[in-house]
Structure 1
Amino acid sequence: MTYQGVLTKMETEFLSPIQYYLVFESDFLNMNQLLGKTIHIQFVKYQCLNCELDKPIYRQGFCKTCFFDIPQAADWIMRPELSTAHLEKEDRDLVYEKKVQLQPHIVYLANSSNVKVGVTRKSQVPTRWIDQGAHEAIEIVEVPNRYLAGITEVALKDYVADKTNWRTMLKNEVVDENLLEWRERLKPYIPNEAKEYFIENNTETILEFPVQRYPEKPKSLNLIKSQNYSGKLVGLKGQYLIFEDDTVFNIRSNEGLVVDLSIL
């Protein structure tokens, strides 16, 4: 059976193990049900997630024109400390910026390849942790807007990592950490503007991923270059498909590609 559609990040359900769904325009696949099966992925064309034109994808699923124009790709998306909606200052579209920036945000610690600090909207917990392949995570601060979360993250980056090593995450070479101890260790470095939002009493969230075998030497599939690939699916972690031959395919990094996906 063959399915065709534009790639967008997999939808997930926080169960044990986590359930993954690849959603196309008129179909969806529960990817957990494909574990142990051989699938074939064929590149068809590009489709920008904004204008829907067949133009090369630049970043985040958008063509170059859209990336530098639409509010969904503005700098404050990746750097929340640049948010200005709380000051009534527009970057690209103040209505959109208020909608996204002026809602509760979480500063968290997650252990994917190492302990890292991150920011997400409260409504995206635990989805954000799943997408990063974290096997444990904890909220440390809940603030009313994106700016406060951003300046808190910037302050804490001097004392804890803010990036995930994707190879280490996929190989599952992860050491369990006591995130409650990390939270207390970092508490003194939270900016004064956010200190009142520190979360005193909560527990770690543990996440279980559907992986039959972790890759020893993960190699990333470049579908644009290879045009197609076939392999046995043996795991799902973060936004990655893990195959038996150690090939891994990051769905999130390939948003905006139209593919044929066949189950062999």
Structure 2
Amino acid sequence: MIYQGVLKKMMTENAAEILYYLDMNTDFINMNQLINKEITINFVTYECLNCHLEKKIYRQGFCKSCFFEIPSAADWIMKPELSKAHLGIEDRDLAYEQAVQLKPHIVYLANSSNVKVGVTRKQQVPTRWIDQGAHEAIEILEAPNRYLAGITEVALKDYVADKTNWRKMLKNDIEDVDLVAWRDKLKAFIPEEAKEYFIDDNVETHINFPVVKYPEKPKSLNLIKTPKYTGKLVGIKGQYLIFEDETVFNVRSNEGLVVSIEV
């Protein structure tokens, strides 16, 4: 069976073991069913996720012109503290920015390779944690807008990491920590204007990924340099496909690439 379509991040379903689905335009692939099977991935061309033209992908699945023009790729996406919709100030499209920024946002702690702080829209919990490959996570604060969540994240970065070590995460080189204790310890460093939104009565969420074998020395597949790859899928964690030969493929970082997948 051969499927072809433009890559977008895998959809997930929170279950006893995370379920993964890949949207290939006219078909949905249940990726869990491919574990322990050999698959071939072929790079075909590019397709910008916004304009849908055959243009080289620049970042986040978008061509260069779209990346610098569309509101969903503005700086406040990666840096929530730059959000200004709560002030009525437009960046690229105020209506879009109000629709996204003026919704409840969660500041959280996630443990994937280490304990890190992050921000996501409330509706993205626990999807965001799954995408990061976190085996445990907890909400710290629920803010009414993206700006307050963003300045809280910035304040907490002085005391906890804000990045995931992807190699360590994929090797499953992890340790369980007391995220409730971390949450309580960090409370003192939350900015005054956000302190009232602190959450003090929740528990950790634990996440299990469908992995048969973790790689000891993960090596990343670059489809542009290696346009055809065949391997036995042995697991999925975060947005990574893990293969028996220790090759790993980050689906999300390859959004906008048109590929064929042969099973």
TM-score (norm 2): 1.00
Q: CA shift at 1:31, angstroms?
A: 0.3
Question: In structure 1, what is the equivalent of residue 204 of structure 2?
Answer: 204
Question: Within 2, Cα distance between the matches of 1:45 and 1:252?
Answer: 16
Distance in 1 between the 2:100 and 2:224 partners?
Answer: 32
What percentage of aligned pairs have identical amino acids? 74
Quote the residue 2:79 is aligned against: 79
Root-mean-square deviation (CA, aligned residues, Å) is 0.3
Give the ranges of 4+ consecutive aligned residues of structure 1 lying more than 2 Å apart after TM superposition: none
Deviation, structure 1 residue 16: 1.1
What residue in structure 1 maps to residue 222 of structure 2? Answer: 222
The match for 1:30 is 30
Aligned partner of 2:17 in structure 1 is 17
Tell me what 1:259 maps to: 259
Which letter maps to 1:11? Answer: M
The Cα of 1:25 is off from its aligned counterpart by 1.2
Cα distance in 2 for residues equivalent to 1:106 and 1:210: 26
- Per-residue deviation, residues 24-83 of structure 1 (Å, max 9, x unmatched): 211000100000000000000000000111111000000000000000100000000000
> 1:105 and 1:152 mapped to 2: Cα distance?
11
The answer on 1:163 being equivalent to 2:163 is: yes
The residue number in structure 1 matching 2:241 is 241
- Over residues 199-255 of structure 1, what are the superposed CA-to-partner deviations in whole Å (9 max), with x where a residue is unaligned? 010000000000000000000000011111000000000000000000000000000
CA distance in 1, matches of 2:16, 2:78: 30
3-state SS, counterpart of residue 225 of structure 1: coil
Distance 2:24 2:105 in 1: 29
Q: Which residue matches 1:185? A: 185
Secondary structure of residue in 1 paired with 2:225 = helix
**Structure 1 CA distance, aligned partners of 2:60 and 2:47?**
12
Task: Could you tell me which runs of 5 or more consecutive residues in structure 2 were left unpaired when the two chains were aligned.
Answer: none
For residue 227 of structure 1, what is the amino acid of its counterpart? P
Q: How many residues align?
A: 263
Kindly provide the CA deviation profile for residues 138-197 of structure 1, in whole angstroms up to 9, marking residues without a partner as x: 000000000000000000000000000000000000010000000011000000010000
Report the Cα distance in structure 1 between the residues aligned to 2:145 and 2:236, rounded to whole angstroms: 32
Q: Which residue of 2 aligns with 1:101?
A: 101
Paired residue type of 2:195: K
TM-score (norm 1): 0.99
CA distance in 2, matches of 1:100, 1:173: 35
3-state SS, counterpart of residue 187 of structure 1:
helix
Q: Secondary structure at the match of 1:196?
A: helix
Alpha-carbon separation, structure 2, partners of 1:185 and 1:76: 27
Match of 1:124 in 2: 124
Q: Structure 1 unaligned runs (5+)?
A: none
Q: Distance in 2 between matches of 1:15 and 1:224?
A: 34
| Aligned equivalents of 1:57, 1:217: Cα separation in 2 | 28
